[in-house]
Amino acid sequence: MILVYTGEGKGKTSACLGQTLRALGHGKRVAFAQFIKRDGCAGEQVLLRQLLGDNFRAQGLGFVKNVPDKAPHIQAAKDLFSWCLDMLPTVWLLVLDEILYALHYELLTANDLHTLLERAGHLHTHLLLSGRYLPAWLERVSDLVTTLSQTKHPFSLGKKALPGLDC
């Protein structure tokens, strides 16, 4: 199965975490990759590391919009993507948090993602992808797409992210 959490609203990573807990609760092996977030910047990373050990990686270099030199971001995404390919045969569910951002900002290519989808299908590994900017082709081949919409957010009022709720 290919599952996607997308949209402009808050909660995509939280949905990925819930799906991870559900799979772990059923004794399934899970790997979780964060493509944009820096290691050590979000509260969930502490628990993911405890729950998953070496099956968790946060290898992003932060948000890439308006960055003058994307080369380090591209290399970080490619390295994490390679790790994901290596994890495919060993897990029941592979979570690719914020991979849609990496695709949108051209840190990864559609061909990269096609390769991953094909290998996962052959290995019967389920994939969970998140982020904004879901391409139409990926929506067509996905089994589940949930779009989170934003009605109201404190950021629009100038409030900063609150650790424990936002990061």
Which tokens in the block code for residue 151?
């009605």
Confidence category of residue 150, pLDDT binned at 50, 70, 90: confident
What pLDDT sits at residue 101? 97
Please state the domain extents for the chain. Answer: 6-148
> 18 pLDDT exceeds 90?
yes
Q: What dihedral do alpha carbons 44, 65, 104, 110 form, nearest 10°?
A: -90
Mean pLDDT confidence for 29-50: 96
- For residue 20, CA distances in Å to 5, 11, 52, 106 come to 13, 14, 10, 27
- Average pLDDT across the chain, whole number: 95
What global pTM score does this model have? 0.93
What pLDDT sits at residue 48? 98
What pLDDT sits at residue 98? 97
Task: Name which CATH class applies to 6-148.
Answer: alpha beta
Q: What percent of the chain has pLDDT over 90?
A: 84
The DSSP bridge partners found for residue 58 are 34
Count of alpha carbons within 13 Å of 89, Cβ hemisphere only? 2
Q: What is the pLDDT of residues 54-105, one digit of tens each?
A: 999 999 999 898 899 999 999 999 999 999 999 999 999 999 999 999 999 9
